[in-house]
């Protein structure tokens, strides 16, 4: 087996930058069986992708993602393009025998996610592996929280409370970027933020959602077109377009293991920049995590002496904590970018060993089924929607 893994990245926006940094860094931190090589990056804008290649250390660039997939010197296709492109790129890459890492949410529609999960299952029989990029799973404190739940520290899980609050589009004059258009993004806060919450609830508890009732809202229904679009139209900066995704999504749910759950995702919470918080309550205790203090998890032991009990703050920076074996001395915390490095480590190790990485495309399909259920429930006046998904994929 060769000692390198040649990476082809599709997309050069925010996520492209995060993934590029991860591929640059991972072999410098972890002792890996394969060394990732930043072989090529693809994007639709020739000048922009050339600049990204120079800036982020890619050896070459392509203006067409199909050309990247066709290359013989690419082993992995890493998809960070907008959601509307995920399905097409992933299906072509898997058919071409390339391993695939695809950003979340897996697709824009349930039908697309179903096709991707089915193709991934077929490809795995040929040794071609795939993973969906829910990077928050690789936060050491959250990985530690999962270990505590699996060890029975909380007992029977009864409640899940999950919120993800941002404020970056609170200004009604913020432009109509691709994330605010359904044909490109699939959904708004629901898919951008809520998908993380759905995945983390499953990751931490092992319980999938079996039914839900939801509402969504779009507070600002029209926004200025981006300057590039305005320039193409010949109009001098006053043209506006319709926002076709949700600004906020809220839903309640039952889980297959008996827990009840609440979820809230919004991009209209002034002062909240990346406030992702999840709390679990069980028969033996509770824990909570807040990404704005991402190196900490707080745990309460309900079986302890009540006179001296309280939440214990665990600083997840010890070498025995998940992922910390390769990083800094105790007390030297990690940041957002490190979650992508840890994700790249897991993916490379899985490919080297030939074992299916997690979360799988089937896990991504489950999250997509929840997102689809939320939109269906909200569209029908918050009716209760039992949730089903393809267990066999």
Q: CATH number of the domain that 305 lies in?
A: 3.30.360.10
In a domain, 54, yes or no: yes
Examine residue 113 and state whether it is found in any structural domain, yes or no: yes
The CATH number linked to 99 is 3.40.50.720
Q: Are 274 and 337 in contact (CB under 8 A)?
A: no
The verdict on residue 50 lying in a domain is yes
Last residue of a domain, one of 136, 155, 190: 136
109/189 same-domain check: no
Q: In this structure, is residue 356 part of a structural domain?
A: no
Cβ–Cβ < 8 Å for 99, 70: no
Distances from the Cα of 110 to the Cα of 86, 187, 245, 391, angstroms: 12, 12, 16, 14
Compute the distance between CA of residue 81 and CA of residue 9 in angstroms, rounded to an integer.
9
384 in any annotated domain = no
What are the residues whose beta carbons fall under 8 Å from the beta carbon of 128, sequence distance 6 or more?
Answer: 94, 97, 98, 99, 100
Is 67 found in the same domain as 26?
Answer: yes
Q: 23, 34 in Cβ contact below 8 A?
A: no
φ, ψ of residue 313 to 5 degrees: the values are -90, 120
Residues 328 and 182 in one domain: yes
Same domain, 103 and 210: no
Question: What pLDDT score was predicted for residue 228?
Answer: 52
- Partners of 102 in the β-ladder: 79, 132
User: 216: buried, middle or exposed (CB in 10 Å: 19+, 13-18, 0-12)?
Assistant: buried
Same-domain status, 74 and 176: no
The verdict on residue 266 lying in a domain is yes
Same domain, 311 and 187: yes
Domain-terminating residue out of 111, 136, 161: 136
Indicate if 324 and 182 belong to the same structural domain: yes
Counted domains in the chain: 2
Q: Are 183 and 68 contained in the same domain?
A: no
Q: Does any domain span residue 349?
A: no
Residues 323 and 177 in one domain: yes
In a domain? residue 325: yes
**pLDDT tens-place values along the chain, 393 residues long:** 569 999 999 999 999 999 999 999 999 999 999 999 999 999 999 999 999 999 999 999 999 999 999 999 999 999 999 999 999 999 999 999 999 999 999 999 999 999 999 999 999 999 999 999 999 999 999 999 999 999 999 999 999 999 999 999 999 999 999 999 999 999 999 999 999 999 999 999 999 999 999 999 999 999 999 975 544 444 445 799 999 999 999 999 999 999 999 999 999 999 999 999 999 999 999 999 999 999 999 999 999 988 888 999 999 999 999 999 999 999 999 999 999 999 999 999 999 999 999 999 999 999 999 999 999 999 999 999 999 876 655
Read off the tokens for 307.
Answer: 């006179």
Does 167 share its domain with 131?
Answer: no
0.75 surpassed by pTM:
yes
Can you give the pLDDT at residue 231? 47
Q: 349-387: b or e for each residue (b if 16 or more CB lie within 10 Å)?
A: ebbeeeeebebbbbbbbbbbbbbbbbbebbeeebeebeb
**Of 77, 103, 136, which residue sits at a domain end?**
136
pLDDT for the residue 95: 98
- The predicted pLDDT at position 306 comes to 81
Quick one: 23 and 48 in the same domain? yes
Same domain, 130 and 241: no
| Residue 388 pLDDT | 81
Q: How far apart are CA 272 and CA 18, in angstroms?
A: 21
Range of the domain at 77: 4-136
């Amino acid at each position: 087996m060769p000692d390198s893994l040649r990476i082809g990245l599709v997309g050069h926006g925010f996520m492209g930058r995060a993934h590029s940094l991860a591929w640059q860094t991972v072999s410098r931190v972890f002792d890996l069986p394969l060394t990732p090589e930043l072989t090529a990056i693809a994007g639709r804008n020739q000048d922009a992708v050339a600049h990204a290649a120079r800036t982020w250390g890619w050896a070459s660039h392509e203006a067409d993602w199909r050309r990247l997939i066709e290359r013989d010197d690419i082993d992995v296709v890493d998809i960070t393009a907008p959601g509307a492109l995920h399905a097409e790129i992933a299906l072509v890459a898997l058919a071409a025998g390339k391993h695939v890492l695809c950003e979340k949410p897996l697709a824009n529609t349930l039908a697309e996610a179903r096709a991707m999960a089915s193709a991934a299952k077929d490809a795995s029989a040929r040794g071609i592996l795939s993973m969906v990029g829910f990077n928050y799973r690789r936060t050491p404190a959250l990985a530690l929280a999962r270990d505590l739940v699996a060890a029975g520290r909380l007992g029977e899980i009864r409640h899940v409370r999950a919120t993800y609050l941002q404020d970056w589009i609170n200004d009604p004059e913020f432009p109509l970027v691709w994330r605010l258009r359904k044909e490109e993004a699939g959904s708004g806060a629901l898919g951008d933020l809520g998908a993380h919450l759905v995945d983390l609830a499953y990751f931490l508890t092992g319980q999938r959602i079996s039914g839900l009732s939801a509402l969504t809202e779009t507070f600002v229904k029209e926004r200025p077109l981006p300057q590039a679009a305005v320039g193409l139209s010949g109009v001098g900066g006053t043209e506006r377009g319709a926002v076709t995704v949700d600004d906020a999504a809220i839903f309640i749910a039952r889980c297959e293991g008996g827990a009840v759950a609440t979820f809230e995702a919004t991009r209209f919470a002034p002062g909240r920049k990346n406030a992702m918080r999840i709390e679990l309550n069980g028969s033996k205790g509770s824990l909570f995590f807040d990404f704005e203090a991402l190196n900490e998890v707080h745990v309460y032991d309900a079986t302890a002496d009540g006179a001296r009990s309280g939440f214990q703050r665990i600083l997840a920076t010890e070498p025995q904590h998940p992922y910390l074996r390769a990083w800094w001395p105790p007390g030297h915390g990690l940041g957002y970018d490190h979650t992508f490095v840890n994700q790249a480590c897991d993916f490379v190790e899985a490919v080297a060993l030939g074992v299916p990485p997690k979360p799988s495309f089937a896990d991504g399909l489950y999250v997509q089924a929840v997102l689809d259920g939320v939109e269906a429930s909200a569209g029908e006046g918050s009716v209760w929607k039992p949730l089903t998904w393809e267990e066999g994929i």
